[in-house]
Structures are given as C-alpha cells and as structure tokens.
C-alpha cells in the first residue's frame, strides 16, 4: 500500500480490526520512509450482473435507479425509509445469489413488484401500472381484484 503522504511503497500494518458489521477490515498502517501513520479499509467487492434492457442494450446495475422506482411508487405513502432500504437490500442480495452475469430488466421489475406488494398495496398498483403499461381502467381493475383476492 502506498503512503498517501510521501507516496512510498514501503508501509507496514500495525493493527487490523474487523468492523462491527463484519463487512470490512480497518488497517492502521505505518510508512517506513516518512514515519507517518494512516488508516485503510478493506471491503469485499461484489459484482452485480449487468442489466439487459428491453431494447437489448446492456447497462451496469444501478441501485439508485431501484431507489428512484421505489420512491416514485411510494410517493406520499406511509412507508418508513428503512423498510425501503431493506427491500432494496433483499433485491440486491437475490441478484448476487443468482450468480449470473446478466439479468433482464423485466426480472428486476418482478423482484421490485414482489417487494412493493409486501410494503404497500397502493404503491404496488402504481408500479404495476407503469411496469405493465396499463392501457385503460380495466387493467387497473384486474390488478386491484388480484390484490383483493390475495388478502
């Protein structure tokens, strides 16, 4: 590890500690050249699959796009932020567990719908109306009937 002060490569680890969450390692380092100390953090880098859009384009997975979709569907709904964060974390974990290099945007949409259904039925219907491209009131009525039948 290079020293951030003198750019020397000769540094040593004085102390290592695992974070309370257990997801990163904090290392206290000492530069042999200038004598200064600094801290580095080591984390696992997980590669999420690329998203294949309807038109065939491939884009990097973007957690912020997921959040935006949730926030639009949940606009003015009484759902705490931590529930939204937990839902997004579950989706990301499912994507990681799949172990695939690519996933369709449609599959991600299905995962979002599953999570929204658990969080808020109105948000679920809002998201479904955009996701499934509702054309008329009948489309809304069908989804509302589904929700009522499953309760």
> Does position 57 have pLDDT exceeding 90, yes or no?
yes
List b or e across 91-102, with b for residues whose CB sees 16 or more CB atoms inside 10 angstroms.
bbeebeeeeeee
Q: 17-21, 47-51, 138-142: lowest mean pLDDT where?
A: 138-142
pLDDT tens string 90-137: 999 999 999 899 999 999 999 999 999 999 888 988 888 777 777 777
pLDDT tens string 14-31: 999 998 878 889 999 999
Is 95:103 a contact under the CB 8 Å cutoff?
yes
* Length of the chain, in residues: 151
pLDDT band per the 50, 70, 90 thresholds, residue 45: confident
What is the structure's pLDDT at 12?
Answer: 95
Beta pairing partners, 41: 26
Is 2:29 a contact under the CB 8 Å cutoff?
no
What is the secondary structure of 76-125 as a DSSP string?
Answer: T----HHHHHHHHHHHHHHHHHHT-SEEEHHHHHHHHHHHHHHH-HHHHH
What is the structure's pLDDT at 3?
Answer: 95
> Does position 69 have pLDDT exceeding 70, yes or no?
yes
| Alpha-carbon radius of gyration of the chain | 23
- Does this model's pTM top 0.75? My answer is no
What is the structure's pLDDT at 151?
Answer: 67
Is 70:84 a contact under the CB 8 Å cutoff?
yes
Distance (Å, whole) CA 44 – CA 46: 6
Q: Is beta strand 11-18 parallel, antiparallel or unpaired with respect to 37-43? A: unpaired
> Does position 47 have pLDDT exceeding 90, yes or no?
no
What's the whole-number average pLDDT of the chain? Answer: 89
57 secondary structure, DSSP code: -
pLDDT band per the 50, 70, 90 thresholds, residue 141: confident
What is the structure's pLDDT at 60?
Answer: 93
Q: What is the mean pLDDT of residues 53-77?
A: 93
């Amino acid at each position: 590890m290079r020293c951030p002060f003198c750019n020397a490569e000769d540094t040593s680890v004085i102390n290592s500690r695992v974070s309370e969450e257990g997801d990163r390692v904090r290392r206290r380092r000492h530069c042999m050249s200038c004598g200064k100390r600094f801290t580095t953090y080591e984390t696992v880098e997980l590669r999420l699959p690329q998203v294949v859009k309807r038109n065939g384009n491939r884009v990097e997975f973007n957690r912020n796009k997921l959040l935006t979709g949730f926030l639009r569907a949940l606009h003015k709904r009484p759902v705490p932020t931590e529930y939204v964060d937990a839902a997004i974390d579950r989706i990301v974990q499912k994507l990681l567990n799949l172990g695939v290099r690519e996933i369709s945007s449609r599959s991600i949409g299905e995962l979002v719908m599953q999570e929204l259904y658990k969080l808020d039925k109105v948000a679920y219907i809002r998201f479904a109306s955009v996701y499934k491209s509702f054309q008329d009131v009948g489309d809304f009525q069908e989804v509302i009937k589904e929700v009522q039948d499953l309760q």
